[in-house]
Amino acid sequence: MQPYGGFWWRVLAYFIDAIILQIGSSIIGGFMGAGIGASMAMMRSGQESIVSTAMLMAIMLTLVLQWLYFALMESSAMQATVGKLAIGLVVTDLNGNRISFGRATGRYFAKILSGVILLIGFIMVAFTERKQGLHDMIAGTLVWKTRDPRLVRNDESIFV
């Protein structure tokens, strides 16, 4: 039987993912910042709203980048983000199957709820029987400590 992905393994995987996402966000921010700086140099007074719009666009682009990173990677054949792959974690549905993009999207946005309630939704991973956070329960997913998702599906005793 494969063990579930516990709290500290998932924290470590998230730190790796956060570093990767920060690099991507910094590159986007650098290009957007250069554009904003050039715009400000050519601006006349009274056009400050252009800067606000550009900054809002950079924030929105970063959020979309994060959503697509998590949803596409966790619904892919790898069933994990780069951080989870490095640690040896995979995300499945409750039957051990690969999750759809829609379910991965729901899981990503449910993480907002897990965080808003003082991170209790994430802390739940340490205390629930199947190591599920609130976002996992909402999306109907499990995280396993294995590098091979086929091992999860082949061991039918875990679903009894």
pLDDT digits (tens, 9 = 90+) for 6-51: 999 999 999 999 999 999 889 888 887 777 777 777 766 666 676 7
Does residue 140 carry a pLDDT above 80? Answer: yes
Distance, CA of 156 to CA of 51 (rounded, Å):
56
Q: Is residue 65 part of a domain?
A: yes
Average pLDDT over residues 148-153: 83
Measure the CA–CA gap between 20 and 86, rounded to whole angstroms: 12
- 77: domain range? 7-159
Instruction: Quote the pLDDT of residue 141.
Output: 98
Q: Please list the residues that pair with 138 across neighbouring strands.
A: none
Residue 28 covered by a domain? yes
> What is the domain count for the chain?
1
Whether residue 22 lies inside any domain: the answer is yes
Within-domain flag for 24: yes
**pLDDT tens for each residue of 58-91:** 889 889 999 999 999 999 999 999 999 999 999 9
| Residue 3 tokens, joined | 């063990």
43: in domain:
yes
In a domain, residue 2? The reply is no
Q: How confident is the model at residue 56 (pLDDT cuts 50, 70, 90)?
A: confident
